[in-house]
């Protein structure tokens, strides 16, 4: 995945080398990692927070259930994130929904409903973008830091052979574009930052209960382990990308 932004390829390589060295040195020094998990009440969010803690990180959890953090309300996002102090090494956005307000994902064009589609965009695309807008000040400029939003492989346009799930797919595709666009801008002020969209695999959570079908699933704990190691392996050169739980780039 090519890196963009000012400064040319030389600057990119230097920034990447510095970021890698910093990551190694922080780990070697046993420096405490600070992580923020937005959507820590969800299946994957909860597992991410627990796993991060088990690995020794200091974890801040935010969720709609516990804190009233509704991502569709910018005033709330701004107020709750505004109350945090900066210096996060990892920010995870693990919010999202496939079925919203009782409306199941569409099986055909005739099921398209403008209000349901707008709700999909508000939560799955605009919500994480608002988190990044208000969380950027929490990300250090002078050392490695990462912001990962959980997307979904079904948001890939290039990989879409089945159709259906119009609103969810389109909202995740929009999320991918928003994160890619933001990553270009973030690289200018935070040269060691990684901003990515990750696909967690098909995970046994409330979201998939009715929809996993015959797909093989993994537990949230296993998914969290995969996601954390994928993010640990990414540097500024991969910022703006869309990766699966194995760290493989997914076509847009």
Ligand X SMILES: NC(=O)c1ccc[n+]([C@@H]2O[C@H](COP(=O)([O-])OP(=O)(O)OC[C@H]3O[C@@H](n4cnc5c(N)ncnc54)[C@H](OP(=O)(O)O)[C@@H]3O)[C@@H](O)[C@H]2O)c1
Task: Give the binding site for ligand X (CB under 6 A).
Answer: 39, 41-45, 63-65, 69-72, 94-97, 123, 150, 152, 199-200, 202-203, 205-208
Q: Considering the complex, what minimum distance in angstroms separates the CB of residue 6 from ligand X? A: 31
> Strand pairing partners for 145?
193
Judged by beta carbon, residue 88 or residue 92, the one nearer ligand X is: 92
Minimum separation from the CB atom of position 239 to ligand X (A): 20
Q: How far is the CB of 224 from ligand X (least distance, A)?
A: 10
Rounded distance between C-alpha atoms, residue 187 and residue 195, angstroms: 9
Other CB atoms closer than 10 Å to residue 157's CB: what's the count? Answer: 11
- Toward ligand X, which CB reaches closer, 20 or 84? 84
Closer residue to ligand X in complex, CB, 152/182 = 152
Smallest gap from Cβ 77 to ligand X, in A, equals 9
Residues ≥6 apart with Cβ < 8 Å to 227:
44, 48, 92, 148, 150, 198, 200, 245
Contact between 220 and 45 under an 8 Å Cβ cutoff? The reply is: no
**Closest separation in Å from C-beta 45 to ligand X:** 5
- Whether 204 and 217 have beta carbons less than 8 Å apart is answered as yes
Cβ distance to ligand X smaller for residue 44 or 182: 44
Evaluate whether 74 touches 238 at the Cβ level (below 8 Å).
no
Choose between 171 and 193: whose C-beta lies nearer to ligand X. 171
Tell me whether residue 182 is exposed, middle or buried, using C-beta atoms within 10 angstroms of its C-beta: 0 to 12, 13 to 18, 19 or more: buried
């Amino acid at each position: 995945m090519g890196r963009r932004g000012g400064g040319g390829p030389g600057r990119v390589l230097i920034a990447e080398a510095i970021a890698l060295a910093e990551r190694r040195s922080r780990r070697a020094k046993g420096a405490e990692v600070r992580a923020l998990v937005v959507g820590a009440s969800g299946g994957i969010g909860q597992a991410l927070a627990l796993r991060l803690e088990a690995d020794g990180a200091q974890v801040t959890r935010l969720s709609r259930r516990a804190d009233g953090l509704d991502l569709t309300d910018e005033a709330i996002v701004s107020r709750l994130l505004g109350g945090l102090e900066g210096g996060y090494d990892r920010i995870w956005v693990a919010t999202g929904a496939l079925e919203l307000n009782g409306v199941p994902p569409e099986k055909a064009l005739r099921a398209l409903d403008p209000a349901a589609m707008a709700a999909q965009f508000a939560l799955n695309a605009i919500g994480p973008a608002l988190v990044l807008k208000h969380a950027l000040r929490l990300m250090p400029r002078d050392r490695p830091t990462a912001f990962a939003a959980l997307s979904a492989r079904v948001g890939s346009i290039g990989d879409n052979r089945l159709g259906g799930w119009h609103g969810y797919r389109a909202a995740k595709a929009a999320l991918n574009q928003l994160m890619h666009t933001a990553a270009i801008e973030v690289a200018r002020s935070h040269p060691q930052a990684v901003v990515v969209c990750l696909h967690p695999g098909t995970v046994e959570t409330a979201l998939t209960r009715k929809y996993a079908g015959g797909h093989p699933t993994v537990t949230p704990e296993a998914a969290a382990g995969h996601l954390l190691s994928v993010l640990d392996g990414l540097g500024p050169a991969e910022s703006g990308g869309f990766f699966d739980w194995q760290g493989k780039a997914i076509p847009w």
